[in-house]
Structure 1
Amino acid sequence: MEDATGPTPPHPNLRRVMLKISGEALMGDQGFGLHPPTVERIAREVQSVHKMGVEICMVIGGGNIFRGLQGSAQGMERTTADYMGMLATVMNALAVQGAMESLGIHTRVVSAIPMDQVCEPYIRRRAVRHLEKGRVVIFAAGTGNPYFTTDTAATLRASEMSCGAIFKGTKVDGVYDKDPVLHPDAVRYDRISYDDVLTKHLKVMDASAIALARENGLPIIVFSLDAPGGFQSILSGEGTSTRVG
């Protein structure tokens, strides 16, 4: 939402936020990999919020390239499969970094697995300093440990960075009582508690991520990343979303 002076400023508690998106969000209509126009569109969504003066962290999944659980289900040893999934998130992070910097936004990829030739290692105080200098920080390689999803990584990093909320960008405009794609009568929640998400088995984030967010009082805002200007609108208090917490 904009007025004559520019974008509506966000709520004071949302001056620093975490944006969590899936790897699948980067593949557009393709069944696999990266779709450059889609990556650019998401970068522009982030740019619109960056212009509001918001400090932005990001965590991007790797499911468009490799998903550890699926590899494990096909007979691969789980730890190896999870590490492969972590490397996929680094590839996605570098792609988004490239798109962001082509728009003139300074971006840093920070990896939980050291790989100094392509990105920085995760050092909390350095990451905070990047945010304070107005850089977008993309956290890659999950937590650096197998058996933890990028949902948990996003919640962990958001807590460490003292973010005001996690914004979970999805293909639907909030949390529903059942899959709205399969069930036209699905009902969207405007607000729902962490406990209800867990007891109703709603697929917002995995249980570890929800529990960690609950322990730290970190709200999760679920919105549609497919809606043009959706990220900025939600931060401006407009648009449709579900608040968990």
Structure 2
Amino acid sequence: MTFTAEHTPADIVKTFPQASDLFKKHRIDFCCGGGKPLKETFNERHLDEEAILSELNHAFTEWNKQDHDIIDWEQVPLSKLVNHIIDTHHAYLKQELPALGEFVTKIFRVHGTNNPHLRELHRVYNEFKVEMEEHSIKEENEVFPLIKKYEEEPSEQLLQQIRDANGELEGEHDVTGDFLKKMRDITNGFEPPMEACGSYRMTYARLAELEDMTFQHIHLENNILFKRL
């Protein structure tokens, strides 16, 4: 197949997961706002439609030449998808958020005087951390058990309850996306200054990884799990 400007980033990433790298490079949203056609983003952002589609389709062609063992999350049981989100993405957040927070604090304390943007990074990161921790707890304690129950005992009443909860979660995803955009802007795309020390550089690299994991996390929920319900 060939991707066109009428395709949405969310659908493209479902078919071609590595497209997320290209979308990140061009700052094209494929998770929270991934449901609108690429053409709208091209027009709004004045991006080179022909060049980006050519790059995307070339990468897809090369990717198709290889063997891939990809799980079709559209087809697996809902409980398996929920467990994957918990075991992969929530587990990552539980380990990474406190550890990375210590480094964000460290570089602010050591380098904040000469790099005043690190004060803002420290503030935004900690707001993001609290938001993601509370969000994950809500999913694991309230919403995901409802989804598993629905899979075993489907009912219209339970489905509506889940849809209402999912709407709240999508709103929280939008807030999360805004925090990530702020951190990317504050850090100049997670590019440390030339004179940055090892801790400074490692912190920015881990922030970039956190962004990537969070985008994948939100994509699985917004564009696959919630859509299936």
TM-score by length of 1: 0.20
* Structure with greater strand percent: 1
* Structure with greater helix percent: 2
Structure with higher RCO (Cα < 8 A, 6+ apart): 2
TM-score by length of 2: 0.21
- Whose radius of gyration is greater, 1 or 2? 2
